[in-house]
Amino acid sequence: KQEVTQIPAALSVPEGENLVLNCSFTDSAIYNLQWFRQDPGKGLTSLLLIQSSQREQTSGRLNASLDKSSGRSTLYIAASQPGDSATYLCAVGGAQKLVFGQGTRLTINP
Amino acid sequence: ETGVTQSPTHLIKTRGQQVTLRCSSQSGHNTVSWYQQALGQGPQFIFQYYREEENGRGNFPPRFSGLQFPNYSSELNVNALLLGDSALYLCASSLDGLAGSNTGELFFGEGSRLTVL
């Protein structure tokens, strides 16, 4: 059974800092890994999708890496802004479904 | 291109009642998945529909059922509501060329917030 863990559960940093969010998973037989952003009471916004054959993906200030052998992914956010405050969810794609971590609640302080 | 839309956005029911939630998939997508997200938790997979057939189910009892229509829209039905069914219900659409695979990116709607009293 796939299990996904995100550490830390919450993170608060001053504006402008670079930061890393961590995601680990127990079964390396995955199709893909997807990072999402969720604002309070809202749905999920897809940030980055990494296929199992890829090592990383970049979009703007975001960079996500994938290391299947160690069961880890990281989301790197450069030059953080108050608008980046949200919960970030990592999800591992298997047959038919995504398995989610519990998320990291990120607060960027002006 | 329209995104995933869900209705209603909020609803309140009492224990024992039944509820139907609706989802319109993103244009061109033929697969719909439903997830339940309790407060403070990550979403949990309920089931997936591909070409109007259930194509995978999570650890949810039979009182959670669904439908997918020829236009790829979908419904989630929950019977005999329990207090523990209170959650945000998320619909996601994707384009899967093969049944049983999940190589594509999932796009989520804003969710339906269900409160059971």
Model confidence at A42: pLDDT above 70: yes
Please provide residue A66's backbone torsions phi and psi, each rounded to the nearest 5 degrees: -135, 130
> Which of B44, B102, B103, B113 best tests the A interface by mutation, with the highest count of A CBs <10 A?
B102
Give the per-residue pLDDT at B99: 42
**Does B66 touch chain A if contact means CB atoms closer than 8 Å?**
no
Do residues A80 and A13 lie in contact, with contact meaning Cβ atoms separated by under 8 Å? Answer: yes
Q: In what order do the strands lie in the sheet with B74-78?
A: B5-7, B19-24, B74-78, B64-68
> Which of A98, A99, A104, A105 best tests the B interface by mutation, with the highest count of B CBs <10 A?
A98
Give the per-residue pLDDT at A107: 97
Give the per-residue pLDDT at A38: 97
Q: Which residue in chain B has the smallest CA separation from A105?
A: B40
Rounded (5°) CA angle B63-A99-A22? 150
Do residues A21 and A75 lie in contact, with contact meaning Cβ atoms separated by under 8 Å? Answer: yes
**Does B44 touch chain A if contact means CB atoms closer than 8 Å?**
yes
Task: With beta carbons under 8 A apart, name residues in chain B contacting A33.
Answer: none
pLDDT of chain B, 117 residues: tens digit per residue:
568 999 999 999 999 999 999 999 988 888 899 999 999 999 999 999 988 999 889 999 999 999 999 988 999 999 999 999 999 999 999 887 444 444 578 889 999 999 999
User: Which phi-psi region, left, alpha or beta, contains residue B110 (left: φ > 0; alpha: ψ -120 to 50)?
Assistant: alpha
Residue owning tokens 């309790």: B38
* CB spacing of A32 vs B103 below 8 angstroms: yes
At residue A61, what is the residue type?
R
Task: With beta carbons under 8 A apart, name residues in chain B contacting A98.
Answer: 33, 35, 43, 45, 102, 106
Cis? peptide before B62, omega within 30° of 0: no
Average pLDDT value for residue range A81-94: 94
